[in-house]
Structure 1
Amino acid sequence: MLIDSGVNLRIVQTNHIFFFFFFFFFFCGQNSKIVLFFFFVDQDELLWAAAWLHRATDDKSYLDYLGQAGNTGGARTEFSWDDKFVGAQVLVAKAEQFICSCIQKGNSNVKKTPGGLLWFLPFNNLQYTTTATLIATVYSEYLSPKRASIQCSGGIVQSSALLDLARSQVDYILGSNPNGMSYMVGFGSKYPTQVHHRGASIVSIKKDPSPVACQAGFDAWFNMNAPNPNVLDGAIVGGPNDSDGYTDSRSNFQMAEAATVNTAPLVGVLAKLA
């Protein structure tokens, strides 16, 4: 494998790294802007990188780095694009506290809606639900062949219970919920029709080739109280509030915005459950 462990370890051992990412040209009318993007790599990403590099190379130096890290995240309340500690913890089998809180057997449990959905935050909650579901699925796979279990403060958790949790969340997302609505666009007979997504909410150029200016997109399409002209098949929206309520309106971006971070974790879960 073409991986230089010496170089990679020096990168991982750097506490904070700034990456210049790219120039992005955005044109709107006669004005153009150059936007500089920087990625700030913090401790969670360094630990996650070390965990993956150890798995890829079996180089003990990466494992040593993980063992010597002063901050391994502790008990986390979410796993997301902005907080990857749980991802690193899962790779080294130390994510029990997060899992216990998701399965309602921890000291500080994740909130659940009356309909049973894991509920973390008002803005795009399903991104956190799908990542938590992936963690439960992966940890179930880790425990099952060992016939092992997790000792939570609220009791023992078997691998089968983690898989049951994953199934319950997938079932909810796909329509087994108080609204009878699938939050995966295009799946089932009832799903969000006003997804907060520019490409889905503006008519195809094949049907209307006339140009759409920046502001015209808002005036003619964003504010139109009608289903999107294009169905964004497979996209998962932000989802309902903590009372299972959902407003199907593209202006309600907290609930209606679709994102790859919502859908991607569910791919792994469905691969297991299919």
Structure 2
Amino acid sequence: YWDEFVWGGAWLYYATGNSSYLQLATHPKLAKHAGAFWGGPDYGVLSWDNKLAGAQVLLSRLRLFLSPGYPYEEILRTFHNQTSIVMCSFLPVFTSFNRTKGGLIQLNHGRPQPLQYVVNAAFLAALYSDYLDAADTPGWYCGPNFYSTDVLREFAKTQMDYILGKNPRKMSYVVGFGNHYPKHVHHRGASIPKNKIRYNCKGGWKWRDSKKPNPNTLVGAMVAGPDKHDGFHDVRTNYNYTEPTLAGNAGLVAALVALSGDKSTGIDKNTIFSAVPPMFPTPPPPPAPWKP
């Protein structure tokens, strides 16, 4: 839960302008407990269970656009540097994460239900690209090598293209999009027919276990996704392939919105900071005109 203190503190600071929240979000001990200073196999993966990567991007925005300086600069610089490292890990030239033969990044290291993590990474990459562009920064360094922001948007685009059907199975993993998408979605709203009969939880099992296609099309729902071999089983009882989640669809919408405009569209740099007071004292008014 330490990551959620950083995440919540950042959002509450932006919402209220109360500096106590920024002090919380940037407290070194809090960041240490959240795992901000060390790696690990899942480092940099934004998920329902770990918000640290999102919090670091959010606080990098503060450093890029408002540059609050002391006493926040040291930890904000650390968050910013860690964000850059996370973005490097998404690039195919590095080996932090494997990819399927079809090109899907394995952020959960081959475990089931990969797409919820992929859409979050695509969102963060596109968003960070927008941040750098808005700060007139053409890219960032991964070790000695410089990469342009276009690389981040390309990563995000290729991952979303895979999800929407550009994959070995030619399967769209978003229900209702394209001509070939899952028809046996693991979801009550899709599998229980609209016959004006109220079913309890156990009563719904016969629909869960049915091999017939869903009577209702759950348009826009992103399912759990393929396995590490690009394989997919359209079976309702196998939720590791066919279950949609709120966490997954939140990332899906965020990534699609982030990619919906071209590079020239940019972002609104200021509205998110509308409640934040000036980071430095307001300069005094000019002296009154001198009269001899």
Which TM-score band applies after superposition, normalised by the shorter structure? 0.7 to 0.9
Q: CA deviation at 1:120?
A: 2.4
Amino acid paired to 1:46: F
The 8 Å contact of residues 190 and 216 in structure 2, kept in 1 or not, is answered as: yes
Which runs of 5 or more structure 1 residues have no equivalent in the other structure? 1-41
Residue equivalent to 2:132: 143
Q: Structure 1 CA distance, aligned partners of 2:180 and 2:100? A: 20
Indicate whether 1:188 and 2:216 are aligned: no
The 8 Å contact of residues 120 and 255 in structure 2, kept in 1 or not, is answered as: no
- Residues 222-233 of structure 1 aligned to structure 2 (within 5 Å): 222-233=208-219
RMSD: 1.9
Amino acid paired to 2:106: W
Residue equivalent to 2:90: 102
Higher strand proportion, which one? 1
Indicate whether 1:243 and 2:232 are aligned: no
Q: Structure 2 CA distance, aligned partners of 1:171 and 1:255? A: 18
Cα deviation digits, residues 8-53 of structure 1 (max 9, x gap): xxxxxxxxxxxxxxxxxxxxxxxxxxxxxxxxxx210110111112
The 8 Å contact of residues 105 and 153 in structure 1, kept in 2 or not, is answered as: no
Query: Which protein has greater RCO, CA pairs closer than 8 Å, 6+ apart?
Result: 2
Residue equivalent to 1:134: 123
Q: Structure 2 CA distance, aligned partners of 1:77 and 1:273? A: 20
Q: CA deviation at 1:268?
A: 2.2
* Distance change >3 Å, CA 154–CA 263, structure 1 → 2: farther
Q: Structure 2 CA distance, aligned partners of 1:272 and 1:224? A: 38
> TM-score, with normalisation over the residues of structure 1?
0.77
* Distance change >3 Å, CA 178–CA 60, structure 1 → 2: same
> TM-score, with normalisation over the residues of structure 2?
0.73
Which runs of 5 or more structure 2 residues have no equivalent in the other structure? 61-79, 261-292
% identical equivalent positions: 39
Amino acid paired to 2:118: T
Cα deviation digits, residues 189-213 of structure 1 (max 9, x gap): 00000000012111112xxx34545
Say which of 48, 54, 62 aligns to 2:7: 48
- Residues 8-23 of structure 1 aligned to structure 2 (within 5 Å): none
Q: Structure 1 CA distance, aligned partners of 2:10 and 2:156? A: 24
Residue equivalent to 1:66: 25
- Residues 64-213 of structure 1 aligned to structure 2 (within 5 Å): 64-70=23-29, 71=32, 72-74=34-36, 75=39, 76-93=43-60, 94=80, 95-106=83-94, 109-121=96-108, 122-145=111-134, 146-153=136-143, 155-205=145-195, 209-213=196-200
The 8 Å contact of residues 3 and 52 in structure 2, kept in 1 or not, is answered as: yes
Residue equivalent to 1:27: none
- Number of aligned residue pairs: give it: 228
Runs of 4+ in 1 over 4 A off after TM superposition: none
Amino acid paired to 2:21: Y
Q: Structure 2 CA distance, aligned partners of 1:272 and 1:132? A: 12
Q: Secondary structure at the match of 2:235?
A: coil
Which of the pair has more CA radius of gyration?
A: 2
Cα deviation digits, residues 70-124 of structure 1 (max 9, x gap): 2153341411111011111001222122211112355x51221111112223232
